[in-house]
Structure 1
Amino acid sequence: MTEDDAGFSELIGLEFTDAGDGYSRGTLTVSDRLTNPNDVLHGGVAYTMADSGMAAALQSEMTADERCATIEIKISYLEPVTEGTVTCESTVVRRGGSVAFLESEVQQEGASVARATGSFSIFVP
């Protein structure tokens, strides 16, 4: 993921610490501005971690002229997160010519708090 791609990820404090060979790892620290009225991490933040993580994992396998876009993502929230650091690891499960299938797991202290699967379109603009 390049500096220009960071946009929304940067806004929520998501930092990618590893990306390559169809894999990415990103982390963020939970803050009050990222929680919902129940004082837990907003589901949209976990979704963004998965979506951005999948894109970073896929981009690590793409050529310079290729681009990708999310087709769909399904996410299951397993545990609430109230504070601390959360990590998202994403992997390319299968890449075809124009569609890729990926998985993400959001964790806190080694415990899974959300899991997602997604498909992405791969194209040359």
Structure 2
Amino acid sequence: MKIQEQVDQYLQNATEKDQEVLEFVLEGLLNKQNQINRSYLGGLLHETSYFNEEELTFHMTIPNSSIIQNALNIAHGGITATLLDSAMGTLAIHVLPSHLAAVTTEIKINYVGPGIGEKLTCDASIIHKGSKIIVCEGKVYRDDGKLVAHSTASFFIIPRVTKD
């Protein structure tokens, strides 16, 4: 089935909420295509972020949209984990020279509150930077400032793979 046919079929019985979700997904794909986000996942999550070079911290925010919520209408724990992993991993890569990268080797998450509100923000910092491993801490907050999750993660330092 062609993409236009799938969209038309979806829209035939779509509720207003269904239409909002489709629009959100399409905007996310356009974010990647227009290089607003570097990855499809970042685009789909509508992530915004910034690196604080002075404090060596990284901050990533995503809207708490219907697409990331579970059946209880709170942010899915897997999305919260993805936000933590993405923010801490991006921070690890930011502090490395350009010929190196970092990949997650271990992550531990404590969920301490429901992911509700308009947005979720992860603040990531470095606990340890060695020659082979970087250890980070991440905290996800809702827009009222309450903690949703706390995490620590280890990232293995590897040579950066370049595309041919």
TM-score (normalizing by structure 1): 0.89
Task: Give the conservation status (yes or no) of the 8 Å contact 1:23–1:56.
Answer: no
1:110 counterpart = 2:130? no
Task: Give the conservation status (yes or no) of the 8 Å contact 2:59–2:121.
Answer: yes
1:8 counterpart = 2:22? no
Q: Distance in 1 between matches of 2:70 and 2:111?
A: 14
1:84 counterpart = 2:118? yes
Question: 1:100 corresponds to which letter in structure 2?
Answer: I
SS in 1 for 2:117: coil
Deviation, 1:102, is 0.5
Alignment of 1:1-125 (within 5 A): 5-20=38-53, 22-108=56-142, 109-125=144-160
Which deviates further from its counterpart, 29-38 or 10-19?
10-19
Question: 2:49 corresponds to which letter in structure 1?
Answer: F
Q: Distance in 1 between matches of 2:84 and 2:46?
A: 14
Task: Give the conservation status (yes or no) of the 8 Å contact 1:98–1:121.
Answer: yes
Q: Distance in 1 between matches of 2:79 and 2:157?
A: 24
Larger RCO: 1 or 2 (CA < 8 Å, sep 6+): 1
The size of the alignment, in residue pairs, is 124
Which deviates further from its counterpart, 10-19 or 105-114?
10-19
Deviation, 1:19, is 4.7
Question: 1:49 corresponds to which letter in structure 2?
Answer: L
Q: Percent identity?
A: 24
Deviation, 1:92, is 1.1
Deviation, 1:13, is 1.6
Question: 1:112 corresponds to which letter in structure 2?
Answer: L
Structure number with higher helix proportion = 2
SS in 2 for 1:58: helix
CA distance 1:8–1:85, change in 2 (3 Å) = same
Q: Distance in 1 between matches of 2:60 and 2:113?
A: 19
Task: Give the conservation status (yes or no) of the 8 Å contact 1:75–1:116.
Answer: yes
SS in 2 for 1:83: coil
Structure number with higher strand proportion = 1
